Amino acid sequence: MNGLSGILLLAAILIIMQFIVMMISDRTSALREWKSVLMFFALIWWFTPLAKKAYVDDIFYPNDSVVHEEAAREIAYLFHQGDSHGAWEYFGFGNEGYRFVLGVLYTWTDAPEVVTYAIHGMFAFWGMLLILEMICKHISAERIPFWIVCFIMLNPSALFWTTFNLKEGAMLWGLCAMLTAAQTLEARNQAKMRLEHPSKGGSLIGPFAGLLVAGFLRPHIVMAYLGALAVGVAIKQRKISFALAMFGGIFAAVSMLKIMAPVFFETVAAAGLSNTLSERFMDLSNDGGSAITYSRGAPIPLLSGIILLAIRPFPWESSDPTTLAAGAEIWVLAAIAISGWYRLNLRWKHATSAFVMTLIAAFLALSLYFTYIYNMGLMVRQRVMVFPTMLTIAVLPSVIFANRHVAATRQRIQSMTSPQPVPQSVPQPQRVQPRPVFQPAYARRVEIQNPRRFYPPPRQ
């Protein structure tokens, strides 16, 4: 039964991925020409978990995946034995909640672990497609270059880290779905201005579902994205109600964080966030291995996180092939972003748009969190959660260039193919002579002789 259910579930996952490609490409004109390519990429994402489970796990032993799998199988065993009370004791938020949901899945399906790998790969693939869709909708793109489609959809870190028995795949989809809320709200407002029903602008079910999934797994990351969405809405639409709703979500995320780590929360409340995180960083970084080190001993809040996310690890910090590959990937990403924004005309106008400001706010908020991350391998893995902002900011200028070229080419072709109007001589308007006022002959004669005085005509 285990093997049969696994085969059926894997086939269903592949069908769902192909359906997602057709759904998104049909509603995004710039992605229609790449529909067949995206379907092939879906097959790659579907095949990657199978290859990792068969070969890669023997090379890179997935420690965290093994812990999640053992706890989930224990929960499934308790449900099968009828001990629901004992199974519900495992419930919580974060890792506990993830293991509980995974245990419920195993209870219903008795699926092998490779199905979990494939489910996370499906969610991550969906999230990367949402990134492409957001870029196209932001500038109303008519075309997106092929290399950008490959660069985003075949991102090495996303393809490698999200297809494990970890939370990264579901988190990536949840965060990308949350970011689509800004564009959906703008489209709904435009529908209202056209006197149409707001649903014509899109549904908020997807962003809300992404909020629930991401908030259930990592509420502290959701806090950063909710704050960024509130900033974007305040800039673009000046909607106080939606901004208050975002801050309400932040309060709920803080409450969930207090439930997950009550001791840590009380320590932060007593000693302050920066001091608590600095002490935690110093304690954990003394373990050696791939610990992150700084020249001044402790990290600088925000600045160290920005540098860590944008350009690290450096070559001399790479302790294994995955870290070295992650470093090369982030250097290429930084080079694309710097060169693109440097060459872009009206860069300040594009950089201060509500959508880009939302991405920048999310990146800065996550940089504060990553300031105090203590392990380079953990940073490389969790940096996938920042990719919705980093990838979009990096490739956006290149998409703008491509669509400017398309517009210029169309204008040139239209000027060459459209018939030129034959110039015609414009007749000059004739000067209209004023109609002479009738005067008797003697008056005219007297006026000519002496225009200053009037003399009566001589008697004949």
Q: What are 290-302's pLDDT values in tens digits? A: 667 766 667 787 8
Rounded average pLDDT over 198-204 = 67
Report how many domains make up the chain.
2
Q: Are 13 and 46 in contact (CB under 8 A)?
A: yes
Domain span holding position 276? 271-404
pLDDT tier for residue 42 given thresholds of 50, 70 and 90 = very high
In the predicted model, what is the mean pLDDT of residues 341-345? 87
Could you give phi then psi for residue 285, rounded to 5 degrees?
-75, -10
**313 cis-preceded (ω within 30 degrees of 0):** yes
Residue 83 lies in a domain: yes
282 lies in some domain = yes
pLDDT of residue 154: 93
C-alpha distances in angstroms, 451 versus 443, 444, 447? 10, 9, 4
**Cβ distance 44 to 125 under 8 Å?**
no
Q: Closest Cα to residue 171, out of 89, 72, 77, 94?
A: 94
Half-sphere exposure of 366 (CA within 13 A, CB side): 27
Residue 53 has pLDDT above 60, yes or no: yes
pLDDT for the residue numbered 10? 92
In this prediction, residue 283 carries a pLDDT of 46
Residue ending a domain, among 404, 439, 455, is: 404
**Cα dist from 278 to 240, 250, 261, 298, 368, whole Å:** 35, 23, 17, 7, 12
Least confident of 24-28, 79-83, 305-309, 445-449: 445-449
Under the banding of pLDDT at 50, 70 and 90, the label for residue 372 is confident
Shared-domain flag, residues 153 and 279: no
- State the greatest distance between any 2 C-alpha atoms of the chain, in Å, as a whole number: 146
How high is the pLDDT of residue 404?
Answer: 84
**Average pLDDT of every residue of the chain:** 79
Is pLDDT of 36 > 90?
Answer: yes
Ramachandran sector of residue 202 (left: φ over 0; alpha: ψ -120 to 50; beta: rest): left
**Whether residue 283 sits in one domain with residue 213:** no
Domain assignment present for residue 46? The answer is yes
The answer on 206 and 74 residing in a single domain is yes
> Do both 91 and 168 map to the same domain?
yes
Q: Are residues 78 and 140 in the same domain?
A: yes
Can you tell me the mean pLDDT for 17-27? 93
From the number of C-beta atoms within 10 Å of its C-beta (0-12, 13-18, 19+), residue 187 rates as middle
pLDDT of residue 411: 78
* pLDDT over 80 at 119, yes or no: yes
pLDDT at 235: 67
Burial class (CB within 10 angstroms; exposed 0-12, middle 13-18, buried 19+) of 96 = middle
Cβ(115)–Cβ(2) below 8 Å = no
> Residue 279: its pLDDT value, please?
47
Query: 3-class SS at 411?
Result: helix
283-292, long-range: CB within 8 Å, 24+ apart, which pairs? 284/374, 284/375, 285/374, 285/375, 289/319, 289/375, 290/319, 290/320, 290/323, 290/375, 290/376, 290/377, 291/374, 291/375, 291/376, 292/373, 292/374, 292/375, 292/376, 292/379
With 90 as the cut, is the pLDDT of residue 20 above it?
yes
pLDDT attached to residue 272: 43
439-459 exposure pattern, b = at least 16 Cβ within 10 A, e = fewer: eeeeeeebeeeeeeeeeeeee
Query: How confident is residue 44, by pLDDT bands cut at 50, 70 and 90?
Result: very high
Place of tokens 């960024």: 228
pLDDT category of residue 268 using cuts at 50, 70 and 90: very low
Is the residue at 18 inside a domain? yes
Q: Which letter does DSSP use for residue 436 in this model?
A: P
Better pLDDT: 75 or 280: 75
Angstrom distance (rounded) from CA 160 to CA 327: 14
pLDDT of residue 367: 87
Q: Give the least confident one: 166-175, 211-220, 230-239, 416-425.
A: 416-425
Start-to-end CA distance of the chain, whole Å, equals 141
Across residues 252-259, what is the average pLDDT? 53
Q: What percent of the chain has pLDDT over 90?
A: 29
Q: 431 in a domain, yes or no?
A: no
Are both 166 and 297 inside the same structural domain? Answer: no
Q: For the chain, how big is the Rg over CA atoms in Å?
A: 33
Instruction: Assess whether 17 and 156 both reside in one domain.
Output: yes
Query: Domain check: are 206 and 294 in the same one?
Result: no
Same domain, yes or no: 168 and 293: no
The answer as to whether 440 is a domain residue is: no
C-alpha neighbours within 13 Å on the C-beta side of residue 335: 6
212 shares its domain with 278 = no
10 within a domain of the structure (yes/no): yes
Is pTM beyond 0.85? Reply is no
Which of 152, 161, 164, 77 is closest to 114 using CA atoms?
164
Asked if the structure places residue 308 within a domain, the reply is yes
Does residue 19 sit in the same domain as residue 160? Answer: yes
Structure tokens at 74: 């224990």
Say yes or no: 176 and 317 in one domain. no
